[in-house]
Amino acid sequence: MTVDLRWWDTHVKGFESLRLGFLPRFDRCYSALIEDLHERGLLESTLVVAWGEFGRTPRINGSAGRDHWAPLSTLVLSGGGLKMGQVVGESNAKAEVPKTTPITPQDLMATIFHVLGIDPQIQFRDPSGRPVYMVEHGRPIAELI
């Protein structure tokens, strides 16, 4: 299942809109989902991923928001047989780039495939008929730490 949260994209009045809108709702929903899955005994077999398509600029823009920033992104993984309660990687002091244990999008996809029991080396054919790996370079996060 995918949940699309368009109001996460806070280019204008970011702190205000997050504090008054998004973050309280996200905190309630995410924690309730994790708690429910745990109580039902489903958390070990269910991977919950909270991730945006971009990180946010380390600097505030002229509209009191933060724009897209590809060099660093934050995500939360829960369940799926992963070790919980740990932080993997950290940013530099200005939140510009990874400082330790950089995790690539390919690593995240390898992790998701691993939890789903899908071989990351599975291939599909592009429009020209050339075989392409689903995850060519990534490794599951558990292997990187």
In terms of domains, do 116 and 73 share one? no
* Portion of the chain with pLDDT greater than 90, in percent: 44
91-119 per-position pLDDT tens digit: 999 888 999 988 888 999 999 999 999 99
User: Lowest-pLDDT range, 24-33, 46-55, 124-133?
Assistant: 46-55
**Total domains present in the chain:** 2
Write the pLDDT tens digit of every residue in 40-77. 999 999 999 988 778 888 899 999 998 998 888 888 99
User: Which residues does 52 contact at the CB level (< 8 Å), separation at least 6?
Assistant: 8, 73, 74, 75
> Does the pTM exceed 0.75?
yes
Among 112, 134, 109, 139, which Cα is nearest to 122's? 134
My answer on whether 87 and 113 are in the same domain is no
CB proximity list for 89: less than 8 A, separation 6 or greater: 98, 99, 100, 101, 102, 103
| 15-50 per-residue burial string, b: 16 or more CB within 10 A, e: under 16 | eebbeeebeeebeeeeeebbeebeeeeebeebbeeb
Q: How much is the average pLDDT of 132-139?
A: 91
Q: How confident is the model at residue 78, as a pLDDT?
A: 94
pLDDT value at residue 6:
64
Q: 135 lies in which domain range? A: 103-145
Co-location of 95 and 118 in the same domain: no
Residues 65 and 133 occupy one common structural domain: no
Write the CB contacts of 101 (distance below 8 Å, at least 6 apart in sequence).
Answer: 88, 89, 90, 144, 145
What pLDDT score does 95 carry?
Answer: 85
Q: Are residues 25 and 77 in the same domain?
A: yes
- Percent share of the chain, pLDDT over 70: 94
- Which of 64, 80, 99 corresponds to the end of one domain? 99
Is a pLDDT exceeding 90 seen at residue 87? Answer: no
Verify that 93 and 108 share a domain, yes or no. Answer: no
Same domain, 78 and 111: no
For residues 27 and 73, state if they share a domain.
yes
Select from 102, 114, 101 the least CA-distant residue to 140. Answer: 114
Do 46 and 66 lie in a common domain? yes
Q: How far apart are CA 51 and CA 3, in angstroms?
A: 11
pLDDT-based confidence at residue 5 (cuts at 50, 70, 90): low
Q: Are residues 14 and 31 in the same domain?
A: yes
Residues 44 and 63 in one domain: yes
User: Which pLDDT does position 114 carry in this prediction?
Assistant: 92
